[in-house]
Amino acid sequence: MNAHDPDFPGADIAKLHYGDGDFAVLKPGRYVLCAVTGKKIPLEALRYWSASRQEAYAGPAEATQRWKETGAA
């Protein structure tokens, strides 16, 4: 078994704790879901999130959209 096997324990969604400048992996996985679109975001591509809301975003457009929806925070 290796990381490319579909049955690999970390092959599913990861659980993260989002901090101000980084994140901590609470449950290993390959991706998280965008809070706006539901799109899978591979952990190596994750660049946008909200520490206060503990949400991940696929990109700057999604992060801005969420900010506009919820106000500043």
The reported pLDDT for the residue numbered 1 is 43
5 is a domain residue: no
Whole-prediction pTM:
0.81
7 is a domain residue: no
**32-68, pLDDT tens digit by residue?**
999 999 999 999 999 999 999 999 999 999 999 999 9
- Segments forming the whole domain that contains residue 37: 15-70
56 closest CA partner among 46, 64, 65: 46
Q: Confidence band (pLDDT; 50, 70, 90) for 71?
A: confident
Specify which residues 57 forms β-bridges with. Answer: 48
- Total number of domains in the chain: 1
Tell me how far apart the alpha carbons of residues 35 and 28 are, in angstroms, rounded to a whole number.
19
